[in-house]
Every structure is written in structure tokens, then in C-alpha cells.
A and B are shown apart, each in its own frame.
Chain A
Amino acid sequence: MFVLVVGAGRVGSSVATAALRAGHTVSVLDEDPLSHERLDVELGQSWEEAGGRFTIGTALEMDALTEAGIGEAEVFIASTNGDNTNLVVSQIAQRRFEVPKVIARVLDPRRAAWYSEQGVKTICPTQIAIEQLAAVALAED
């Protein structure tokens, strides 16, 4: 599959690396060249030599999205450090480029829930943390 990851912080870069290792075509878009280094380090070799693509640019730039290959993407992951950016860019991927599978990371639980009702697939790390913390804290020994 062609996987496009927008925003390669800790989460995005790990997902991108895992996808590349699993044999998928992976393209990463990030505004910070430093995140390219993070990919190299996580992979233990050069990202490009291992077949990965990397584009420098911001998530809402059409030129950057196009260069990163959004037109051919089968999976789109919005994992920048901004909820609002992720929600906007994932809707662009869905509605303008009709990417079949679009996933947005949203830290705010209420908006994550509402947007997934609206048809945007959201992953909410905060919600997962809340549930796990509560489960561990309130478990009877």
C-alpha cells in the first residue's frame, strides 16, 4: 500500500518506520527537516536508501501534499502535533483527494468523538490514556 504520513513526530515517525519495514510504500511530509533525521535514526539506516520518501512542507500547502503523493495515497495519516491541523488536512485528503483510508490523531477527546461521528476516523491518545489509567488505578488487587 501507499501510505502518506503528515507530521513525523514520535508517533508519526514510528508508524512510518513500521509501515516501511512491513514492505509498504511510505511517504512522509513534515515542515521540520529534523524529523527526517528521526526517521533515519529509528530505521537504523538512511530513510531514502531504504525506499522511503520525504517532503519538507506544511500540511495545508497543496503543492507540498501533491509532491508528497497525496494523489496516489491509499492510506493517509494526519499526525502533526496540532489537532486542528490534523482535522483540516484529513478532511482535505478525504474530500478533495478521496483517499480511501484517512486517519487523524486528535488529542481532544470530545472533538475526536464528534468528528468520528461525522465520518473522519480519529485516534485519540488522550482517551486511551484515560481509560488505561482509570483501569489500572481503580483495579482491585
Chain B
Amino acid sequence: MAGLYVIIAGAGKVGWNLARELIEKGHEVTVIEQDRRRYLTVEQELEHAVQYGDSTELWVLERAGIQRADLVVAVTGDDEDNLLICQVAKEKYLCERIIARVNNPRNLEHFKLLGIQPAVSATDLILRLIEHEVPRYGLVHLLDLPEERLEIIELVVSEAAPAAGRLVFELDLPEGALVISVLRNGSGFVPKADTVVESGDEVLVVLDPGLEDAITAQFVGDGDEPA
């Protein structure tokens, strides 16, 4: 990944640090900041790599050279701005790669609706980490790629679950679901058809979207419904 030209909209903490890292890795970067005072602060370090202006305005993006950008990253504190910056980058200037920051995770659905992907929400990421540390619902999303229709979940097998004590090939899993890893006593292995699933195991399942409920029923099961 050498020699990309990256435009970053917003020189807040995220934008500034991102610019610093990318420049260090040898990429060419332009950061656009609309607050004059913030711009002057950042300019002391980044010099010509930061420009002053409102990056939702087309001429500002053009001045930054959006026509030749390989990647546009919109990380302002305003979700509408991030959404529209990415939308014009993608649809007007045909930029191949965009990344948008979502400040309020409730706005994620708007990014999806308008085809702005990937949209990254720090709040959402932290929520997932918390979910991972405290798997209250017995189910953790490890990977969600709705566009590619791919999902990987982690479940803890409960004692009363239909799957507990069964061989992998006996499991009553729907089409489109596969157990890809079992974590037992702190170490993981890839299960075979004759591996016995034990209660307390953490299993990783790759699945087509929409199969979660059927899978949860097998591994979490009766008498131990999610809280």
C-alpha cells in the first residue's frame, strides 16, 4: 500500500492523528479543516498538508485535488457532513475508496441507506468490545459484512443447549451455517465432524445473515434463554 493520495476531511483528534500516521507511512495527505483557529494550530505541524475550508463545498474538495485522490476519509464531528463528503467523493468525483466516521451510531442506517460504506462508529466499536468482554446475550458479533452477506458470531454453549454433548455433524444447524472454531480451556481448534461440542465451549460460527435465531437456539437453547 505505497504512495496513496489521501484526503482527510476534518482535523480534529482523529483527522490530525490519522494524517500524521499516514504521512509517516509515506503517503501523500491533505487535511481540510473549516475552523480557522484549529487550522492554524494544525498547520504549525502539518504545514502545506492542511488546507482551510469547508470540505462539503465542491470547490474546496477540488482545490485539495479530489480528482486524483485514491482515498477520501471524512472524520468531521458532523455526521451529515461526513455522509455528503463521501457521497460526492464517490458519485461525483468517482473516488474508489471512501471511509466515513459516524459520530452518532443511530445515524449508521442513513450511511447504509445512501451506500456510504465503510462507515465507522467509535461508539459502536466500543459497544461491541464491551459486548465481547461481557457476553450477556450469549452471542457476540465478530464480523458483519452485510454487503458481502457474511457474518461470524461467537456463542458460549450452555448446559441445557441441544448442541451440548453432540458431535459436530449431528448438530441441527440450518443451511448456510458452519462451525469454524471451538475454544475450550483457553485454546482454540478447528472442529472435525466427530468433535464433541461441550457445554462451556465458545464456538465461532460463520453464517448467512438472518440465521442467528436458529443458531442461538441450538447453542444457547432451552432453560438458558438470553437475558
Contact = CB atoms under 8 A, between A and B. Distances in A.
Do A and B make up one complex? yes
Interface of A: 60-62, 82-85, 87-88, 91-92, 95-96, 108, 110-111, 114, 118
A114 B88 contact: yes
B76 to A, nearest CB: 10
Given A84-B56, A87-B80, 12 more contacts: A62-B106, A83-B56, A84-B80, A84-B81, A87-B84, A92-B113, A95-B113, A96-B113, A110-B59, A114-B58, A114-B88, A114-B92
B154 interface: no
A118 B91 contact: yes
Contacts of A84: 56, 78, 80-81, 83-84
23 contacts: A60-B79, A60-B80, A60-B107, A84-B56, A84-B78, A84-B80, A84-B83, A84-B84, A85-B80, A87-B80, A87-B84, A88-B83, A88-B114, A91-B114, A92-B110, A95-B114, A96-B113, A108-B57, A111-B56, A111-B58, A111-B88, A114-B92, A118-B91
A82 B106 CA distance: 20
B110 A60 contact: yes
Label chain B's interface by main secondary structure.
helix
A82 B113 contact: no
Interface in B93-114: 106-107, 109-110, 113-114
Contacts of A82: 80
Contact of A88 (B59, B80, B91): B80
Given A95-B113, A114-B92, A118-B91, A88 B58 contact: no
